[in-house]
Structure 1
Amino acid sequence: MTPKRADAAVPPSLLLVDKPGGMTSHDVVARARRVLSVRRVGHAGTLDPMATGLLVLGVGSATRLLGHLAGSDKTYDATIRLGLRTVTDDREGEVTATASTAGVTEEAVRAALAAQVGALQQVPSSVSAVKVDGRRSYDRVRAGEEVELAPRSVTVHRIDVHRLSRPTADLLDVEVTVACSTGTYVRAIARDAGAALGVGGHLTALRRTSSGPFSTERARPVEEAAGALAEQGSGPGVLALADAARLVFPVRELTAAEAVAVGHGQRVPATGAPGLHAAIAPQGRLVALVEDAGQVAKVAVGFPPA
């Protein structure tokens, strides 16, 4: 068994992973930990086991960025199957109702999906990771409980309909791209559009293609990305901490004196620009995320030297 290394032995980085179907997000994190032989690995935003696509991992002190990345907008490619309802609102759940879509027109489908665009009060799937009185909703459902989740505010920026096809005379598949805020359940969109059409609906495929500034174009299998970081400190699927921060936040270039002060948690003069900024030392190292507080900028998140 490979001995565990100190987290500092691996450069703090983000891994852009292309998750395969059948793995949980925790499985991906565990695999990265094994390849890197470190413990400090986390992820920004869960993907269901059925789903594929972009999963952003943080390694070492880069895990401190993950909470800020999780709130980014997301983009998904999905296939909605109309004519079947399932308990999970996706293909992995038991079918609970069927209805023929023979009379459903493309115009009606587009209208039902258009109604899912904008600011919504969306009820998550009952088989989800949402907690109810401290327990995951899916655990309660599996224990035989009836679970009704409260609606939550989400925003669907757009739904692009690419193709409609009929796998059988009674079913209708709709291939879409969904751009949405964090917390949006694409399978709830399938469920609600199907309900509006009177035939039911669920997801048969889901792939996350982007999260904030990151996309699957740069993502790699977890073994490849983690292996590149472990062996070379960089490579395909690997983003150095400072490079990642530059993509997510506006940058504040520090002087050498400011870098020392910020590194010790001290305040420096404000810039007048709102929001978090990536404070970068002259040598290119991410020192902290800073934010103005009146006449000074204070450290929100510090990143000690490796």
Structure 2
Amino acid sequence: MEKLTPNLFQNGHILLIDKPLHWTSFQAVNKIKWLLKTKLGLKKIKVGHAGTLDPLASGLLIICTGKATKQISELQGLFKEYTGTFYIGATTPSYDLETEIDCLFPTKHINETLLEEVRTSFVGTIEQKPPIFSAIKKDGKRLYEHARKGEEVEIASRAITIHEFELTRIALPEIDFRTACSKGTYIRSLAFDFGKALQSGAHLTALRRTKIGSYNIKNAISLEEFEQQLAEV
């Protein structure tokens, strides 16, 4: 491990952090910045992340400091890998657990043959609409602002690429998955669209980011571990 010095972070350093559940990516960045200021005496330091994770998702968050913040755009363009769980037979307005279930759907017709047909239909370049509960701007406001006011909004679809998509556990109503996908892919939308393609409904109940390009969650540390490393400097 490199020696953690003020110069290391000022000259440019990439941290692989395992973001905990219920934290925003912004909170994780602020925590890192606060630790660098209080533990290393850095009065002014640039800190940013290369790809937001929702509070209800855990996993790999790339945090860049100092001159390494110039690499953020490049890092954001890398493919991402996720694992997680779909709940089949019910939808929510946010496509995840942020909101309550709004509709129930039949699931008795779903079998492994249908699941395999639907799974393969999502591999490749596809059109996807972002969730209404997202931070994308429409008419000068975030989509989630429109959603919380109950406003109807037309959302344009966008081309995304699903490089890999496998179902790792089938125990209806739950299905575990692993996917590798392009920048701009919403896994919540993948859950919703997957349920719709099954002639049912689905929402995301768990999500963990495991890779960003060649960066792997196996090499990430927790915020607590990073704080401990700084305490030992």
Would you say same fold, with TM above 0.5? yes
Q: 1:78 to 1:9 in 2, by over 3 A?
A: closer
Structure with the higher fraction of residues in helix conformation: 2
Q: CA deviation at 1:10?
A: 4.6
Q: Distance in 1 between matches of 2:186 and 2:9?
A: 38
Query: CA RMSD, aligned part only?
Result: 1.9
Superposition TM-score, scaled by structure 2 size: 0.89
Do 1:14 and 1:56's aligned partners in 2 also have CA atoms closer than 8 Å? yes
Which residue of structure 1 lines up, in the alignment, with residue 149 of structure 2? 143
- Residue 82 of structure 1 and its aligned partner are, at CA, apart by 0.7
Aligned to 1:31: 31
CA offsets per residue over residues 207-234 of structure 1, 9 Å max, x none? Answer: 00000110101101124235536754xx
> What are the equivalent positions in structure 2 for 1:1-306 lying under 5 Å apart?
10-37=10-37, 38-166=44-172, 172-225=173-226, 228=229, 232=233
> Residues 77 and 183 of structure 2 are in contact (CA less than 8 Å); yes or no, is this contact kept in structure 1?
yes
More displaced, 50-59 or 9-18? 9-18
Contact 2:131 2:188 in 1 (8 A): yes
Are the counterparts in 2 of residues 36 and 226 from structure 1 also a CA contact under 8 Å?
Answer: no
User: How much identity, in percent, do the aligned residues show?
Assistant: 39
- CA, structure 1 residues 11+182, in 2 after alignment: closer, same or farther (shift >3 Å)? same
The range that moved more, 155-164 or 140-149, is 140-149
Cα distance, 1:88 vs. partner?
A: 0.6
CA–CA distance in 2 between the matches of 1:157 and 1:225? 32
In the TM superposition, residue 149 of structure 1 has moved relative to its aligned partner by 1.3
Change (3 A) 1:9 1:230: farther
**Distance in 2 (alpha carbons) for counterparts of 1:230 and 1:153:** 46
The letter for the 1-side match of 2:47 is: V
Shift, 1:9, TM fit: 6.9
Larger CA Rg, structure 1 vs 2 = 1
**Structure 1, unaligned runs of 5 or more:** 1-5, 167-171, 233-306
Return the alpha-carbon distance in structure 2 between the equivalents of residues 9 and 100 of structure 1.
54
TM-score by length of 1: 0.69
Which of structures 1 and 2 has the larger relative contact order (alpha carbons within 8 angstroms, sep 6+)? 2
Which range moved further: 204-213 or 102-111?
A: 102-111
Q: Distance in 1 between the 2:212 and 2:10 partners?
A: 24
What SS does structure 1 have at the residue aligned with 2:102? strand
Residues paired across the two proteins, number = 222
Q: Quick one: distance in 2 between partners of 1:230 and 1:61?
A: 23
Corresponding residue SS for 2:163: strand
Shift of 1:12: 2.2
1:57-90 C-alpha deviation (Å, 9 max, x unpaired): 0111111111110000000001111100110111
Q: Structure 1 residues 146 and 230 mapped into 2: Cα distance closer, same or farther (>3 Å)?
A: farther
Distance (Å, rounded) in 1 between the aligned partners of 2:227 and 2:183: 26
